[in-house]
Amino acid sequence: MVGKHSAVKRCKWLYESLIHDRPCYKQKFYGIKSHQCIQMTPSLFYCTQQCLFCWRAQSGDLQIKWDEMKLPSWDSAEEILQGSLKAQDAILSGYKGNPKTNWRKFSEALTPRHVAISLTGEPTLYEPLGELIHAFHNKGFTTFLVSNGTVPSKLAELSEEPTQLYISVCAPNEEVFRRVCRPQVPNAWAKLNETLSFLPSFRCPTVTRMTLVKGRNTSFVDGYAELVERANPTYIEAKAYMHIGFSGLRLDYDSMLEHGEVYDFAVQLAERTGYAIIDESVESRVVLLSKREKPIRFEHR
């Protein structure tokens, strides 16, 4: 926990990178370094949706209920930045005792350079989000912001854009959206569509991220294609749901697609959108599509 409502969690890929020299797919695609990445959220308990595939504990999962839209008084961006750096330091300290740690990478990891503002919750609910992004940029970080797109007013008025903006698009139509993403706010589908409509106005690279759950949201590819046409993102990431965390209470193991099934979905999407498959990561079951030949890479010093 960082302050009252933020959190940092060690990403599995930070571990894999330091111990087994296996970086995450975002390092493969975009050049950010897994071992120098902080995975954090400023909105640990708050979200506008209760997606079936979400790994976070949602209200009711642990016989504890809370109103996920009853927002707190917010900690300042500077407090969250400093708290996140401290938390990452504490996380890294354990690797000193691991004989398998790659020491060159470990010393680089002590100076994190990238932050994934995602983890859990909806980050656009955090009021001074633009200030938080600015605070990280000011420290020399690249920032990837992941939003479910249901707070368009907030995205439209962001005082500073992230380095790359992800919008989750996990349903091809409103009916599937209601069943899979389980919105907790009125007009969430219309709001997501509004966000997609102004996505082309962002200067930073944009991504529509599709988390695919077998038998739940993989049909109606035409619907996805229409949403992509509206958003005109720099990239599409089609990715299999992973059976981890609290999603195990809502979905079974077989809900995960094989990589080949994700690839087939991506081929169908490519045929309908004019986007091409430009990369993939079999171990993460993700396929990258774009109109660019190669992704933009953000190398760190």
Choices 48-56, 193-201, 226-234, 260-268; region in contact with ligand SF4 by CB under 6 A: 48-56
Specify whether the CB–CB gap between 299 and 31 falls below 8 A.
yes
In terms of DSSP bridges, do strands 235-240 and 206-212 run parallel, antiparallel, or are they unpaired?
A: parallel
188 versus 228: smaller Cβ distance to ligand SF4? 188
Residue 167 interacting with ligand SF4 (CB under 6 A)? no
List of residues 6+ apart from 230 with CB closer than 8 A: 193, 196, 197, 199
11 versus 270: smaller Cβ distance to ligand SF4? 11
Measuring CA to CA, which residue among 278, 274, 273 is closest to residue 293? 278
For residue 209, the SS3 value is strand
Residue 47 interacting with ligand SF4 (CB under 6 A)? yes
Choices 119-127, 133-141, 156-164, 253-261; region in contact with ligand SF4 by CB under 6 A: 119-127
d(CA 37, CA 142): 9
126 is written with which tokens? Answer: 């955090």
Chosen residue from 2, 7, 8, 11 binding ligand SF4 by CB under 6 A: 11
Specify whether the CB–CB gap between 116 and 136 falls below 8 A.
no
**Where in 192-211 is the site for ligand SF4 (CB under 6 A)?**
none
Question: In 179-262, at which residue ranges do the beta strands (DSSP E only) sit?
Answer: 206-212, 235-240
In the complex, the smallest distance separating the C-beta of residue 9 from ligand SF4, rounded to whole angstroms, is: 8
204 versus 267: smaller Cβ distance to ligand SF4? 204
In the complex, the smallest distance separating the C-beta of residue 12 from ligand SF4, rounded to whole angstroms, is: 7
Chosen residue from 2, 6, 13, 275 binding ligand SF4 by CB under 6 A: 13
The vertex-247 CA angle with 243 and 249, nearest 5°, equals 110
The residues of the shown chain that bind ligand SF4, judged by CB under 6 A, are: 11, 13-14, 24, 26, 32, 34, 37, 39, 47, 49-51, 54, 56, 116, 120-122, 148
